[in-house]
Chain A
């Protein structure tokens, strides 16, 4: 079953503004990942944060993880029109065994207006 939930479902901002997306999950995790999907295209890995990490940066991306609240946030700073896409969080559960299955949220649709 899906366990990630992103919030908000949709976000529309102006170029140059920051975009913040949140993700909540239900079970204990090894790591949490964020992916981007351009309309109808494949998913691209953005960043991974492990359960023992609280914050991670990659370029204009900043991810936080709060395991006590089972939540994560993705911040995109100084957004560009090219950031327009859907963003998904995915978790790799502790109890997945050998299956490297990721459990996905439903995504946040981000529109960055020029």
Chain B
């Protein structure tokens, strides 16, 4: 089954404790992206990747890092999480030959 998976689905952590949210897709998509969703602000892009070892900033990259060492994986790293990073995070992917994006189930992160 074609899918995007994210782990963990829920995470409660404390300020400053490094964390990684994993994202994996099995569709051989070149393009992957991270969004955060906040009430009243909608979905905003954090980082994206056009292919392996090619990443770039989206609209709200501050406080986040990503890597793309393999085509299927695109982890999101918060080196020192802060409460303003409490949000619902989505990973998405699509083929460069198509415009439809496939989304993971989301990771709800709470930073206290």
A interface list, Cβ under 8 A from B: 1-2, 4, 30-31, 33, 35, 40-45, 48, 88, 92, 98-102, 104-107
**Which applies to chain B's interface (DSSP): helix, strand, loop or mixed?**
strand
CB pair A2–B88 under 8 Å, yes or no, is: no
Q: How far is the CA of A88 from the CA of B101 in the complex (A)?
A: 13
Contact A43 B103 (CB under 8 A): yes
Between A and B, 18 residue pairs with Cβ closer than 8 Å are: A1-B59, A2-B41, A2-B44, A4-B42, A30-B99, A33-B101, A41-B106, A48-B99, A48-B100, A99-B48, A100-B33, A100-B99, A100-B101, A102-B43, A102-B101, A104-B42, A106-B40, A107-B42
B80-103 contacts to A, CB under 8 A, are: 88, 90, 92, 94, 96, 99-103
Are the CB atoms of A45 and B48 closer together than 8 Å? Answer: no
Residue interface bits B23-39, CB-to-A below 8 A is 1, else 0: 00000000101000000
On whether A41 and B101 interact (CB within 8 A), knowing A1-B59, A100-B33, the answer reads no
B65 at the interface (CB under 8 A from A): no
Interface residues of B in 37-68 (CB under 8 A from A): 40-45, 48, 50, 56, 58-59
Contacts of A100 in B (CB 8 A): 31, 33, 48, 94, 96, 99, 101
Q: Which of A42, A98, A105 touches B104 (beta carbons < 8 Å)?
A: A42
* Complex Cα gap A102–B59 (Å): 11
Cα–Cα, bound, A40→B45 (Å): 18
Known interface pairs A2-B41, A31-B99; A101-B58 also in contact (CB < 8 Å) = yes
Q: What are the residues of chain A within 8 A of B42 when measuring CB–CB?
A: 2, 4, 88, 104-107
